């Protein structure tokens, strides 16, 4: 999402779709191939990470915003993509390899392997000059360059996904929302969550967390949490909320269950 424009991926049909948030109209569509999981707006391009290709394209696909032309960078199956500093790009292979990529020259500059659990969700988030990577149950590793290495290992007790907001790395698992302070590499915030069985996405802004989750019975929901005291401020029924992004006036949620983009009032 950038300004009034959002970019979404149709996971099964393999389309990257642009939407004007002011009008709700689709403004473009590019065929990229199925199995996409992450979309990053990066300079003049939209970069898509995929965990599979079925022989079509690459796991890392670059789409020029101006004309929709595509190119690829050869990597393994990806579980995370995040913008790095100086126009570079972080990518996290599902095998546990962190890549630092130059998207202009289309080359992998460096790589380092971290320990994760196979067959778990993985995540990569950039912030405070580093990339933070983990799988569902493993500690978070802080990786920095220029010679890539793990600089810190933080055990938050598990939890995917996570985001970098307001100078902290925020993450969640069904029973807890937590935050890591990059200044100390310690978990400095813990907020209890109740009644959830799976966390699907989250965003944090202005003292609130909006968390896409499932309740027992696989009931999809988006909950609004006060970060000061952990109170539930609101809840919205969404059959399968797959992504959450907070703006000044609305919270945008992709509902994978119905193939729709929802604007929830703040």
Residue 4 pLDDT level (bands cut at 50, 70, 90): confident
Kindly tell me the burial class for residue 231, based on how many C-beta atoms sit within 10 Å of its own C-beta (0-12, 13-18, 19 or more): exposed
Q: Which residues pair with 45 in a beta bridge?
A: 42, 64
pTM score, whole prediction: 0.94
Q: Structure tokens of 150?
A: 């793990």
* Cβ atoms 238, 262 nearer than 8 A: yes
CA–CA separation, 212 and 238 (whole Å):
9
Q: Structure tokens of 185?
A: 């590499």
Residue 102 pLDDT level (bands cut at 50, 70, 90): very high
| pLDDT of 56 above 90 | no
Q: Please count the CA atoms within 13 angstroms of the CA of 121 that sit on its side-chain side.
A: 15
Q: How many residues does the chain have?
A: 266
Q: Please count the CA atoms within 13 angstroms of the CA of 50 that sit on its side-chain side.
A: 30
Tens-place pLDDT, residues 200-235: 999 999 999 999 999 999 999 999 999 999 999 999
pLDDT of residue 128: 96
Tens-place pLDDT, residues 132-170: 999 999 999 999 988 999 999 999 999 999 999 999 999
Tens-place pLDDT, residues 38-49: 999 988 899 999
Residue 54 pLDDT level (bands cut at 50, 70, 90): confident
For the chain, give the secondary structure using H, E and C.
CECCEEEEEECCCCEEEEEECCCCEEEEEEECCCCEEEEEEECCEEEEEECCCCCCCCCEEEEECCCCCEEEECCCCEEEEEECHHHCEEEEECCCEEEEEECCCCEEEEEEECCCCCCCCEEEEEECCEEEEEECCCCEEEEECCCCEEEEEECCCCCCCEEEECCEEEEEECCEEEEEECCCCEEEEEEECCCCCEEEEEEEECCEEEEEEEECCCEEEEEEEECCCCCEEEEEECCCEEEEEECCCEEEEEECCCCEEEEEEC
């Amino acid at each position: 999402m950038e300004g009034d424009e959002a970019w979404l991926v149709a996971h099964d049909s393999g389309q990257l779709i642009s939407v004007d948030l002011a009008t709700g109209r689709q403004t473009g569509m590019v065929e990229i191939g199925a199995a996409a999981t992450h979309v990053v707006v990066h300079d003049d391009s939209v970069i898509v990470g995929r965990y599979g290709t079925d022989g079509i394209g690459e796991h890392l696909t670059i789409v020029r915003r101006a004309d929709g032309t595509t190119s690829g960078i050869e990597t393994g199956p990806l579980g995370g993509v995040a913008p790095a500093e100086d126009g570079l790009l972080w990518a996290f292979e599902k095998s546990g390899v962190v890549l630092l990529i130059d998207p202009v020259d289309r080359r992998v500059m460096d790589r380092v392997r971290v320990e994760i659990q196979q067959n778990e969700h993985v995540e990569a988030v950039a912030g405070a000059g580093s990339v933070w990577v983990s799988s569902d149950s493993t500690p978070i590793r802080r990786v920095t360059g220029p010679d890539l290495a793990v600089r810190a290992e933080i055990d938050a007790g598990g939890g995917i996904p996570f985001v970098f907001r307001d100078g902290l790395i925020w993450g969640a698992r069904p029973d807890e929302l937590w935050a890591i302070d990059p200044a100390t590499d310690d978990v400095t915030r813990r907020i209890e969550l109740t009644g959830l069985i799976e966390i699907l996405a989250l965003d944090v802004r202005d003292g609130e967390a909006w968390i896409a989750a499932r309740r027992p019975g696989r009931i999809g929901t988006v909950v609004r949490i006060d970060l000061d005291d952990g109170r539930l401020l609101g809840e919205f029924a969404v059959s399968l909320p797959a992504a959450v992004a907070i703006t000044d006036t609305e919270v945008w949620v992709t509902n994978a269950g119905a193939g729709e983009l929802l604007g929830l009032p703040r």
